[in-house]
Structure 1
């Protein structure tokens, strides 16, 4: 690996946005660290995506996630772009929802983001450069009857992202929050994950005189 090669990490790797993002950054010449709980799926992914590396971890466990991100930086080098793609969909109304379920959703969407930021962003601040891209959802803006946990956790995540952006922008660290408004998939009525990955890379490349913090994406047929 070239010492000049850039490093990206995808936290919450999966077959949709995570895989597309990893492929995109790999195609653009990055070494890409993949983080998720399933070690077997990560191992398989590294065989399919060039220059990708598996770092199994549980985003809801601060010790596990911190250790994985430290390992990424020790093995590959300083992280140039962190994509926080972890999330948990839990579709229950308030009267069906248990406190521990809400707590899990908060851990996955918000607490994990804080853990990741604390593990990665100080190095970015020391270097005076970096990018953090967070996969959000429309639920961050409005709750519906069956999104009591998901909407609350995504709203908290969005607020955390705003706090990170306002603190880190002056350090030349671009923090962006992408609201995914629609189902992700390959049919015409869904958002193509590769198109989302292209959008993420565009955010990474934005000149610092014209940074986007919040961006929403949806298919043309989505009602909004």
Structure 2
């Protein structure tokens, strides 16, 4: 029996790419969306539709999901992974960096969720995994705007889970600590970037994205009547 369709946002690198490789190896057809189409296609995964899509463009997200469903059938899992981490101090961080994080981390997550949720509710089945963060549970220096977006992800996830619990749709939050991804490279303040890198090294390194992908697969693989509401994982040496 064919396996159901999985949608992964922000799939061009890091956690998204690792998750795509894992679910593809299990035989799932995929819709992968990101702004860098060439990186998606370079993954070379079978039964995969790759679309250059910015999650802040709601019509484009909707169109990509409808196209994938026409080809592979209904979405059974959405992994809301697209995100931006731009560290800075509220007093002097460029305001457009706040707006970018709010647009991607909060509105982008809502747009992708809206694209799949009505169908899941109609079928009475489906799973939405939102990638939160340890920074969605506690604060860190130079993280104020980013922390705000990730606290929002955690709150929205729990509220959505309550809304849909009786329908058979599951909502899961996966909250990693520091992960070896490209996220830090987009921070514009070089001193903050250097300090963050030193902090990661003092903790003995960050998580491998494959470990986060495995956590997502674990939650998805539970029986349909079991929801793993939240998984929090971090490198053993990460104290905070």
TM-score by length of 1: 0.90
Measured at CA, do residues 181 and 166 of structure 1 come closer, stay the same or move farther in structure 2, by a change above 3 Å?
A: same
Aligned residue runs from structure 1 range 138-217, under 5 A: 138-184=134-180, 189-217=205-233
Q: Work out the CA distance in 2 between the residues paired with 1:77 and 1:208.
A: 19
Paired residue for 1:220? Answer: 236
RMSD of aligned alpha carbons:
1.8
| Contact 2:12/2:36, CA 8 A, preserved across alignment | no
Paired residue for 1:14? Answer: 12
Stretches of structure 1 that go unaligned for 5 or more consecutive residues are none
Aligned residues: 219
Measured at CA, do residues 101 and 123 of structure 1 come closer, stay the same or move farther in structure 2, by a change above 3 Å?
A: same
Aligned residue runs from structure 1 range 57-68, under 5 A: 57-68=53-64
| Contact 2:174/2:215, CA 8 A, preserved across alignment | no
| Contact 2:11/2:32, CA 8 A, preserved across alignment | yes
Q: Work out the CA distance in 2 between the residues paired with 1:176 and 1:148.
A: 24
| Contact 1:55/1:72, CA 8 A, preserved across alignment | no
CA apart distance, 1:182: 2.0
Q: Work out the CA distance in 2 between the residues paired with 1:106 and 1:152.
A: 9
**1:93-144 C-alpha deviation (Å, 9 max, x unpaired):** 1011344321211110111111111110110111111111111111112233
Match for residue 130 of structure 2 among 125, 131, 134: 134
TM-score by length of 2: 0.85
| Contact 2:157/2:171, CA 8 A, preserved across alignment | yes
| Contact 2:35/2:52, CA 8 A, preserved across alignment | yes
Paired residue for 1:40? Answer: 38
Return 52-61 or 62-71, whichever deviates more: 62-71
Q: Secondary structure at the match of 2:128?
A: strand
Stretches of structure 2 that go unaligned for 5 or more consecutive residues are 182-200
CA apart distance, 1:170: 1.4
CA apart distance, 1:59: 0.9
